[in-house]
Amino acid sequence: GAPNVITKELAASLGLTSEVAQKVVDSQGKKNDQEFVVLDSIGIGDVTFLNTGAVVADLLAVPELACLQVSGFIGANLMRKVVWDIDNTARRITLSDHFSPASIPPDALKVPFLTEVTGTPKVDIRYNQRWVRSVTFDLGSSGGLTMDRDAYESLINDGTLGPTSRGIGAGSTGL
């Protein structure tokens, strides 16, 4: 669900200036002010994206990200502009500017979803016999599903969701 992110160092080396500063909330509820810039172009293979926004962040200040030694991340605001065909078997990702139903294998897993204005996918899930609508499906921050607190507490209170547990040893961060 996060937008494109680049480091402060990359922004400086490209001579980018802030277009706007805005308070943002990450996946763990942490709030802070972030600078946003416009990137003239981003290339992925033979595909070039023009005039796309990015958050300028200090990735070295985030232990879960600092070890990756990257200059940025591709965000949902860029990802939603194309059709992504992810073939895990062939270890290949293909980007396209059009969707072709004929190219979908008959046994392909299909998950219907809607998106927020940010591009974050929202799905409806069924837990036992109970439907929960508009659950965030985020492969970024937590790699899972996130529902609002009211929906979660409702599932606990009516006995649909059984005992839960909390683990220690995995970290999660957001931008």
Computed over its alpha carbons, how large is the radius of gyration of the chain? 19
Q: What is the pTM of this model?
A: 0.63
How many other C-beta atoms lie within 10 A of the C-beta of residue 5? 20
Could you give the percent of the chain with pLDDT greater than 90?
Answer: 18
pLDDT in tens, 27-36: 667 788 889 9
How many other C-beta atoms lie within 10 A of the C-beta of residue 92? 9
Average pLDDT over the chain, rounded to an integer? 80
Q: Is 147 helix (H, G, I), strand (E, B) or coil?
A: coil
Confidence of residue 8 (pLDDT cuts 50, 70, 90): very high
Nearest to 82 by CA among 70, 93, 90, 72: 93
CB neighbour class for 122 (10 Å; exposed up to 12, middle 13-18, buried from 19): middle
Tokens read off for 55: 């958050």
Give the C-alpha separation, 83 to 151, whole Å. 31
- DSSP symbols for 60-109: GG-HHHHTT--SEE--HHHHTTSEEEEETTTTEEEEESS--GGGS-TT--
pLDDT at 157 over 60: yes
